Structure 1
Amino acid sequence: MRVTQSMLSNNFMRNLSGSYERMAKYQEQLYTGKKVSRPSDDPVVAMKGMNYRTELTEIKQYQRNLGEIHNWMSSSDDAMDKATKTLQRLRELATQASNDTYEGDQRANIAQEVEQLRDHLIDISNTKVNNKYIFNGTDTTNPRFNENGELIAGNANNDAVNIAVSDGIVLKANTNPSNMFTEELFDNIQSFADDLKAGKTGKDLDNYIKDIDGFINDVVDERANLGARMNRLDMVEDRLSSQEITATQIMSDNEDADIEKVIMNLKTQESIHRAALSTGARIIQPSLIDFLR
């Protein structure tokens, strides 16, 4: 086979162009820190990267959902704590008022505090957090009770507010308000205040102590249920944190370039390129055409 000067020149230019492309590739990896900058560089790596990125995006969304549930549950727990303390104070007042040594004007003063505590419980039942009423089921835009302790909607909304916290896992964010705040509760407290004003004593007030104990137990039971869900929420949060770390690491292993290796490859390619230029200058000799120019 005859090898001409033109063939040598064309082959040299083709190899030189390939050398430039390889150097450009390594330089781009060094600048971006990524193995590929476009899907055509490595379709498999690009496809895996899309899947890992989608998984990481889902995890971050679930973590934002966790923040919403944490806010809801913590606010509910705080409100129920205040409700329990209010009911405990009502029990103390009922115990005091049932003592026959108290006079009429003293019981009237107790009645005034009872009414204030009743209003406070109504306010707690209409707790609003982040512009949402947390004790009215899925109807978060409207309060549950009016100022007289009557249901505004007529029918109690106890529907669960469910929020996805992981793939296939949905947690209930709210509580069942009918287990704690009812018209019966507010009517009973108002009756207690009315009987105090009417001068009733002793055994006439003892029943209110039992009723209040029942209301306290209702709040405690619902709070215990909420606490169990909060514990599970913490476990889900820990698992999501672990999944985020794992997904980030896998995505990094798939996409991020090994900088030390890239620098070494770039230096090697530069040496090869300089050697190719030097060799090409000796192989490609000037021709008659070059002199005629």
Structure 2
Amino acid sequence: MPIVSTSTSAFFERSRRDIKALRSEAESIQAQLGRGERLSKSSDDPVAASRLRTLMRTDKLSAIDVANANRANADLTLADSTLSDFSDYITHATELATQAASDTLTTDQRASIGQELQAIHDNLFALANARDSSGHALFGGESTADAYQLDAAGNAVYVGTPGAGSLPLGEGQSVTRSITGPEFLNFTVNGTPTNLMAVVKNLADALQSTATDPAGAARTALDSLSAGLDSVTTGQTVVGTRLAWIEMTGDRRVDMGETRSAEEADIGGTDVASAVAKLQETMTVLEVSQASFGKLASLTLFDQLR
């Protein structure tokens, strides 16, 4: 009798373990299908889990690069728009200087043009102190305050840092987020350094004062205004090139991200077709095992002796 009891106990224990294992396997497959991931813990596949961690770290770093690229794109877009406003004002100033260069104008007419040029100077000064997406000086380099200040004589003086900061874009690439005021407002005319705002201010002052030759001052200013417009246009080209660079690195980042996503899916993702087939197979074996166990468990020695 002890032998029969021991055998029966072993049969039930073995059957219980087998059915439990099948149920666990079925539940594991169902969980994989539910979360779309093959691994629930690192021990399931240590090599694959390590590679997935590396890919996830790269994704997080890429998110930082995206934030930097967005900030640089915003600042450079603001710079491009502001430079366009500079161009518009300089074009209008050139038109006014051309009018003032005529010998047929009266003193009052030139004074009126001078007042309008003074207003343009004030607008240029305001544009030079435009703010970036973070509220810092757009053309002041790393300065958080204004890029330009007026001295006692009313001249615009640059008070920013020598260069604009750079932002990393990933994979060792970076971009300068803006340009400084002197990079496009300072230029040379006939070997003489000058400043765009100074040109406009000096012409405005000459037309509003009793200068001996205001028309001559206007004609002289035309060359400087033309050179200033060229300098602003060059600045726009630099900004446009940097915007294009951000777009190019962004496209590469997207491609690399798609490659990582595909690899992550291959390594840690669930193969739905295979998982469903495996689940159906496991459920079938489980059902058969449970049915077989039920039939075998109902059999006794007395049944065989009848």
TM-score (norm 2): 0.85
1:174-224: per-residue Cα shift (whole Å, max 9, x none)? Answer: 113212235843333222112112353333332111111221122122222
Partner of 2:174: 170
Q: What one-letter code is carried by the residue in structure 1 that aligns with 2:262?
A: Q
- Whether the 8 Å CA contact 1:122–1:149 is kept in 2: the answer is no
Matched, 1:90 2:93: yes
Q: Find the counterpart in structure 2 of residue 114 from structure 1.
A: 117
Secondary structure of the corresponding residue to residue 156 of structure 2: coil
Higher RCO (C-alpha 8 Å, min separation 6): 1
1:39 aligns with 2:42: yes
Query: Partner letter of residue 125 of structure 1?
Result: A
Partner of 1:9: 12
Q: Which amino acid aligns with 2:149?
A: N
List gaps (5 residues or longer) in structure 1: 289-293
Asked whether the 8 Å contact 1:158–1:177 carries over to 2, the reply is no
The one-letter code matched in structure 1 to 2:97 is A
Listed as ranges, the gaps of 5+ residues in structure 2 are 187-193, 302-306
Q: Which moved more, 1:270-279 or 1:39-48?
A: 39-48
The alignment status of 1:216 with 2:229, answered yes or no, reads yes
Please, what TM-score do these two structures have when normalized by structure 1?
Answer: 0.89
Q: SS of the counterpart of 1:77?
A: helix
- Between the two proteins, what is the percent identity of the paired residues? 19
Structure 1 CA distance for aligned equivalents of residues 241 and 130 of structure 2:
22
Matching of residue 206 in structure 1 with residue 219 in structure 2? yes
1:60-209 paired onto structure 2 within 5 Å: 60-130=63-133, 131-139=135-143, 141-147=144-150, 148-151=154-157, 153=159, 156-181=160-185, 184-199=195-210, 200-209=213-222
For 2:218, the aligned partner's letter is: L
Cα-to-partner distance string for 1:222-254 (whole Å, 9 max, x where unaligned)? 222222222222211111111122212221222
Q: Is residue 2:33 matched to residue 1:30?
A: yes
Shift in alpha-carbon separation, 1:83–1:49, aligned structure 2, 3 A: same
For 2:55, the aligned partner's letter is Y
Asked if structure 1 preserves the Cα contact closer than 8 Å seen for 2:163 and 2:179, the reply is no
The answer to whether the 8 Å contact 1:126/1:145 transfers is: yes
Give the Cα separation in 1 of the matches to 2:264 and 2:222: 62
- The total of aligned residue pairs comes to 284
Mean alpha-carbon deviation: is it higher for 278-287 or for 241-250? 278-287
The residue aligned with 2:191 is none
Deviates more, 1:181-190 or 1:231-240: 181-190
3-state DSSP of counterpart to 2:292: helix
Equivalent residue runs for 1:234-273 within 5 Å = 234-273=247-286
Give the SS at the match of 1:128.
coil
CA distance in structure 2 between the aligned counterparts of 1:152 and 1:71, rounded to whole angstroms = 23
Deviation (angstroms), 1:170? 1.1
Deviation at 1:150, TM superposition (A): 3.2
Amino acid of the residue matched to residue 237 of structure 1?
A: G
Determine if contact 1:161/1:173 at 8 Å carries over to the other structure.
Answer: yes
Following the alignment from structure 2 to structure 1, what is the Cα–Cα distance between the partners of residues 8 and 261?
Answer: 54
Distance 1:129 1:235, change over 3 A: same
Alpha carbons of structure 1 residues 243 and 138: separation in structure 2 relative to 1, 3 Å: same
Root mean square deviation, CA, Å:
2.2
Question: In 2, Cα distance between the equivalents of 1:134 and 1:10?
Answer: 77
Residue 231 of structure 1 is matched in structure 2 by 244
Amino acid of the residue matched to residue 234 of structure 1?
Answer: E
Q: Equivalents in 2 of 1:149, 1:185: separation in Å?
A: 11
